[in-house]
């Protein structure tokens, strides 16, 4: 028996509304709230939340001394099309050179790492 149920994954960032907008374009869903805390209600009932963090310093990937703490794996049917889309939205590539792999690594506009993964 589980002790708890996952409520939301929360990302610290300098501008919650802007980062929620980025992920809404990537994942779909509805952005709710403004200010210090913003929720993105994604299809399927999950919530990705964004919290204002004064003095936010993005993780550095890959760098053991500046641990990324976590990353998001986003499943996509077409890596090339998804890559084009996230780059247009403001993501930047971190590790995309090996085109034979089934994943590519990017940073969102606030600097959090995420992977596009072929499904």
79-91 residue pLDDT tens: 999 999 999 999 9
Select from 1.10.260.40, 3.40.190.10, 3.10.180.10, 3.40.50.970 the CATH code of 1-55: 3.10.180.10
Q: Mean of the per-residue pLDDT values for the chain?
A: 90
Looking at residue 24, its pLDDT comes to: 98
CATH 3.10.180.10 domain range(s) in the chain:
1-55, 57-119
Looking at residue 71, its pLDDT comes to: 81
Does residue 72 register a pLDDT over 70? yes
Mean pLDDT over 74-99 rounds to 94
The rounded distance, in Å, linking the Cα atoms of 112 and 14 is 12
The rounded distance, in Å, linking the Cα atoms of 34 and 15 is 10
**What's 57-119's CATH class?**
alpha beta
Looking at residue 66, its pLDDT comes to: 66
Q: Helix crossing, 79-88 with 16-27: angle to 10°?
A: 150
């Amino acid at each position: 028996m589980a002790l708890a149920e996952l409520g939301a994954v929360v990302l610290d960032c300098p501008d919650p509304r802007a980062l929620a907008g980025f992920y809404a374009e990537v994942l779909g869903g509805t952005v709710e709230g403004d200010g210090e805390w913003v929720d993105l209600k994604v299809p399927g009932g999950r919530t990705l939340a964004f919290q204002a963090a004064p003095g936010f310093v993005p993780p550095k990937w890959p760098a053991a001394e500046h641990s990324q703490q976590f990353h998001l794996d986003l499943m996509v049917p077409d890596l090339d099309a998804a890559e084009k889309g996230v780059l247009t939205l403001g993501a930047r590539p971190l590790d995309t050179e090996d085109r034979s792999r089934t994943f590519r690594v990017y940073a969102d506009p606030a600097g959090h790492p995420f992977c596009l993964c072929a499904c």
